């Protein structure tokens, strides 16, 4: 084997040293250009190791953690109002276009839209409540075509996506004589409007481009975010209108009501997961028109002889929803199971449930006695009507006021509707004055904020009577 020359070996070593120097310069230059000190890189590596260890530890201790709203995929949510009530003539014939326009104008405010102030405050309340939501929120208005000439411009300027509607099911398409008679004969507000027109709200189930739809009456108000409701899988969430039955008789021996197995689902606020299948199923019930006041097991037969639906507003959305969601449980109940027992199981057992009842002292609060706290004499007693009437739930009216999320100026606090108070400030608030006053305070706060916002000129133009109205309400109520 030939020997290695000392000269050759020294040159090789020199070249190797030069290569190391060059490589070191390149590394230093690269790190300098990236502005990432070496100690930071090492720290980041350690943090990454710690995070991985934490994830591993969490996985072993809680293999199926419940995802928070922030961890989940953002949902598209439509906040929907429905405008459908065209006035009737004394003979119950529909009003013509001129009469419709006249009924919607506020002549005391230059002929502007009568409900403009309500729409402004409702829209502002939704924007405020969803400002920090994890989900995308759209304002949507379902508007009967006959009302578009009077409402389109206002709704557009307030940021609503407008969807024109027609009568969902014409009366001639209703097969049952009783159902057809109620659809064309049951009215509200002293005969001014058809209650069945409220079925336009059923179109929310067809808004399948959205993950969730929140339907609100124009006299409702968003007070806090409701993101927690969007994590639930049930198709529909809402409150049961126990106090809308109009039945002062003692409770049914089973614990239900003689008028209906299940009360109305209040149509002023519902959250739905859109479903064309649900829409078709609800319309099938309506089209059959089997709507009867005959008796079944001590209850009014209502829709399809289920034993529910025959109450004020039952011909519409409010009676059709409980009929749809509880029909299978009631009609296919096991032997020796009563209608009420079957309905309660469908309502209370989460597995397979498609309607979820909400706490009516938090959502769609109407000001009823069950939300006055224990001092109201109802909460925690057998006379309480809510999803949970345990004594430690909603124990004080102050706690209820602090937890309000959606309020609705109807029911016990119907007399507290702000724009009605403005026009007739001497009217009684009704119910528990403190709770109704809290509703008005919340409305005033949002209205004042709107009139001080960057959109104030638009709002004053759309509802020129709003500023004076606020002052009238403050003087009259507070």
- Chain Cα centroid distance, residue 177: 34
Task: Give the pLDDT of residue 124.
Answer: 97
Q: How high does pLDDT run on average in the chain?
A: 82
Q: Is the pLDDT of residue 65 over 90?
A: no
Phi, psi of 56 (to 5 degrees): -65, -45
Task: Give the pLDDT of residue 194.
Answer: 92
| Average pLDDT rounded to a whole number, residues 303-317 | 93
| Average pLDDT rounded to a whole number, residues 77-91 | 88
344-353 per-position pLDDT tens digit: 999 999 998 9
Task: Give the pLDDT of residue 431.
Answer: 52
Q: Is the pLDDT of residue 133 over 90?
A: yes
Which residues 6+ apart lie within 8 Å of 71 measured at CB? none
Q: Is the pLDDT of residue 70 over 60?
A: no
**Predicted confidence band of residue 245 (pLDDT cuts 50, 70, 90):** low
Which of 76-85, 90-99, 388-397 has the weakest average pLDDT? Answer: 90-99
CA gap 285, 324 in Å, rounded? 7
Q: Is the pLDDT of residue 336 over 90?
A: yes
* Whole-number Cα distances in Å, 421 to 216, 245, 406: 21, 27, 20
| Average pLDDT rounded to a whole number, residues 303-330 | 95
- Alpha helix positions (H), 160-219: 177-185
Q: Are 369 and 377 in contact (CB under 8 A)?
A: yes
More reliable by pLDDT, 421 or 50: 421
Q: Is the pLDDT of residue 274 over 80?
A: yes
Q: Is the pLDDT of residue 59 over 70?
A: no
**Predicted confidence band of residue 339 (pLDDT cuts 50, 70, 90):** very high
Which residues 6+ apart lie within 8 Å of 373 measured at CB? 379, 394, 395, 396, 397, 398, 399, 400
Radius of gyration of the chain (CA): 31
211-225 per-position pLDDT tens digit: 999 999 999 999 999
| Average pLDDT rounded to a whole number, residues 196-201 | 96
| Average pLDDT rounded to a whole number, residues 301-329 | 95
More reliable by pLDDT, 50 or 398: 398
**Predicted confidence band of residue 63 (pLDDT cuts 50, 70, 90):** very low
Q: Is the pLDDT of residue 2 over 50?
A: no
CA gap 217, 426 in Å, rounded? 25
| Average pLDDT rounded to a whole number, residues 442-453 | 96
**Predicted confidence band of residue 15 (pLDDT cuts 50, 70, 90):** low
Q: Are 160 and 167 in contact (CB under 8 A)?
A: no
Task: Give the pLDDT of residue 280.
Answer: 98
Q: Is the pLDDT of residue 388 over 60?
A: yes
Q: Is the pLDDT of residue 262 over 80?
A: yes
Token duo for residue 263: 């009360």
42's enclosing H/E stretch is: helix 38-61
Q: Is the pLDDT of residue 58 over 70?
A: no
Phi, psi of 6 (to 5 degrees): -55, -40
**Predicted confidence band of residue 164 (pLDDT cuts 50, 70, 90):** very high
């Amino acid at each position: 084997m030939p020997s290695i020359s000392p000269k050759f070996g020294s040159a090789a070593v020199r070249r190797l040293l030069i290569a190391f120097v060059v490589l070191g310069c390149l590394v230093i230059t690269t790190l300098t250009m990236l502005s990432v000190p070496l100690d930071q890189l090492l720290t980041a590596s350690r943090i990454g190791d710690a995070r991985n260890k934490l994830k591993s530890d969490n996985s072993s201790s809680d293999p199926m953690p419940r995802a928070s709203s922030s961890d989940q995929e953002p949902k598209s949510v439509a906040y929907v109002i429905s405008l459908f009530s065209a006035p009737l003539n004394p003979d119950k014939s529909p009003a013509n276009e001129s009469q419709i326009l006249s009924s919607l104008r506020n002549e005391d405010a230059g002929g502007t839209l009568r409900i403009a102030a309500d729409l402004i405050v409702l829209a502002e309340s939704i924007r405020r409540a969803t400002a920090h939501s994890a989900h995308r929120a759209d304002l949507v208005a379902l508007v009967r075509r006959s009302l578009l000439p009077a409402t389109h411009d206002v709704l557009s300027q307030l940021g609503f996506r407008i969807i024109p509607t027609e009568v969902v099911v014409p009366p001639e398409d209703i097969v049952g004589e009783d159902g057809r008679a109620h659809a064309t004969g049951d009215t509200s507000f002293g005969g001014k409007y058809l209650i069945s027109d409220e079925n336009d709200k059923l179109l929310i189930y067809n808004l399948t481009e959205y993950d969730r739809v929140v339907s609100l009456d124009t006299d409702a108000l968003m007070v806090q975010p409701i993101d927690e409701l969007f994590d639930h899988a049930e198709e529909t969430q809402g409150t049961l209108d126990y106090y809308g039955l109009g039945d002062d008789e003692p409770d049914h021996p089973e614990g239900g009501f003689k008028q209906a197995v299940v009360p109305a689902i209040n149509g002023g606020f519902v959250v739905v997961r859109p479903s064309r299948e649900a829409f078709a199923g609800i319309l099938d019930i309506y089209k059959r028109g089997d709507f009867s006041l005959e008796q079944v097991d001590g209850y009014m037969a209502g829709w399809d002889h289920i034993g529910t639906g025959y109450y004020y507003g039952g011909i519409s959305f409010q009676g059709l929803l409980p009929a749809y969601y509880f029909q299978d449980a009631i009609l296919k109940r096991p032997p020796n199971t009563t209608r009420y027992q079957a309905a309660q199981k469908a309502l209370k057992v989460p597995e397979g449930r498609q309607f979820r009842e909400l706490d009516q002292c938090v959502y769609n609060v109407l000001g009823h006695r069950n939300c006055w706290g224990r001092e109201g004499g109802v909460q925690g007693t057998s006379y309480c009507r809510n999803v949970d009437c345990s004594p430690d739930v909603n124990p004080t009216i102050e706690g209820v006021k602090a937890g309000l999320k959606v309020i609705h100026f109807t029911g016990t606090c119907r007399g507290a509707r702000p724009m009605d108070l403005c026009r007739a400030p001497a009217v009684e608030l009704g119910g528990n004055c403190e709770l109704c006053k809290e509703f008005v305070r919340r409305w005033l706060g949002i209205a004042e904020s709107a009139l001080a916002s960057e959109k104030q000129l638009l709002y004053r133009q759309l509802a020129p009577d709003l500023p004076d109205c606020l002052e009238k309400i403050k003087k009259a109520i507070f």
